[in-house]
Amino acid sequence: MQNPFEILEKRLSNIENLLLDIKHKPEPEQKLENLTVKEAAPLLKVSEQSVIKYIKNGLIPATKPGRSFLIKRADLEAALTEYKSLKYKRS
């Protein structure tokens, strides 16, 4: 039978190695992706008209090159964290 302290020592060293691997793992690059209103609506689980209303009310920042709106994915995610549920946000 092994010494229980040796077993604990092995487990702790395994945990330490796993934590070091996680710490030194490179972070994935964030995509600088622009979304259209049609692409953003399913992510928010609302209609396209609701997304346009959120943009016009200033809840979601967007640019309008031409006739359509472009929403940066980072801005959309920031809006989601700022407003817990855009779907139930009253104007």
Task: Spell out the domain ranges in the chain.
Answer: 34-88
Provide the CATH number for the domain formed by 34-88 in this structure. 1.10.1660
Write the pLDDT tens digit of every residue in 10-41. Answer: 999 999 999 998 888 876 665 668 999 999 99
Q: Is the pLDDT of residue 82 over 80?
A: no
CA distances to 27, 33, 70 from 48, rounded to whole Å, are 33, 19, 13
**With contact defined as beta carbons under 8 Å apart, do 34 and 70 qualify?**
yes
Averaged pLDDT score across all residues of the chain? 85
What are residue 10's phi and psi, to 5 degrees? -65, -45
pTM of the model: 0.56
77: confidence class by pLDDT, cuts 50, 70, 90: confident
Residues 6+ apart with CB under 8 A from 85: none
